[in-house]
Amino acid sequence: MNWLYVVGIVVFLIGLMFSIALHEIGHLIPAKLFGVRVTQYMVGFGSTAWSRRKGETEYGIKWIPLGGYIRMIGMLPPRPGDDPGKLRSTATGPFQGLIESARDAAQEEVRPGDEDRVFYRKKWWQKVIIMSGGPLMNFVLAFVFFSILLVGIGLPTWAPIVSPDTNTCVIPVTEQRAQCKPGDQPTPAAQAGLKPGDKLVSFGGQKITSWEDATRLIRSHGPGAVQLGIVRDGKPMALDVTLIAQDRPNLENPNKIDKNVGFLGVLPTQVMQKQTIGQVVGYMGELTGRVASSLLNLPEKMVGVWHAAFSGEARDPEGPVGVVGAGRMGGEILASDLSTENKIAIFVNLLAGFNLAIGMFNLIPLLPLDGGHIAGGLWEGIKRAYAKIMRRPEPGYVDIAKVLPLTYAIALVMVVMAGLLVYADLVNPLTLTN
């Protein structure tokens, strides 16, 4: 195995652990600011690899880098009428037993004097801020990574610069070949003397600012003579070219053929084009919409993962990918023949996209996700506001323990989904060429 592949996986896992650590810090800081006693801050799951206690909190790293958590006391309220400082026996009935066991566990670490330091007694907006802190940190990280990518490195863009891969002959669209052969007609570009590295700046007096501009102007012109403005070695030049008519793939749908469009015969060059912070916001907003759409269609997407895992169907590039798959992609990136700049760009984009997906997934308003606790806090705020407006007694705390049976069911579904993704990522992984 290529050692760069292994290094790529390790680097991705380090980036993932860093993201998880900051996600939990997003919960930890507001929890401590609002006076909640936090007993543990852990990155990872499983047995503890390292830990150190500072004050009332144990900070540590666990061996399995698939998540993290902070442990806050009193996440669930006691049953109405119970002494919050005492435990009670578990009730009969499977669901009620689960609920009461969870209540007992939530009260076990509550010491005398902690009555006002438990999570459930905090104001509703404080609960929302504490539980929103983790996803918010993921969004901040995604924005930072996307800013590094777009502003610092740039996005790969096709520039109107003649590529060295440009053919000097006309190859009909119906022929699946990339090399010229004897008897092929020279392209208008070759006849006019265009060379690799020439930058197209104008066409028939119209300015060219992008490869899209050049393609649109050339195709719409049709066959015939036209003056082409270029820059060669920093010097502006004008060339007279005679376009010919050719059948070419449609720009929007490559499976469709446009008949008799203008043809020059050049290929563009891929360059890294730097963006502005405003463009970062727009780029992230567009990607957020796509991720939200994927989350709404997650059951359908997981069916696709199932077929890919057990029927050998191709993986959907827009479908979900697990930590194992993302780690393999990290290894593939580093072991590829891409330039160092492109490797860094793809790696940063992978981490940015992963943070965006984690942040949005955690906002789903279902327990055990952060969004479930946020929904509980918001519902409590609505109930208290309604009671205040209607001049009714202040309602009690929202008891999210009542939805614990659903929570356990969702947790089981999430475990199954995670297992399916791991299997699919092993037997039929997404790759850079997907």
Active centre residues (catalytic): 24
Residues 6+ apart with CB under 8 A from 97: 90, 91
Cα separation, 75 vs 81, in Å, equals 18
In sequence order, the 6+-apart residues with CB closer than 8 A to the CB of 397 are 77, 120, 121, 380
How many Å is the Cα radius of gyration of the chain?
Answer: 29
Q: How many other β-carbons are positioned within 10 Å of the β-carbon of residue 402?
A: 12
d(CA 135, CA 152): 25
Structure tokens at 224: 């015939």
* Complete edge-to-edge strand list for the sheet that includes strand 206-207: 206-207, 199-203, 224-232, 235-249, 257-263
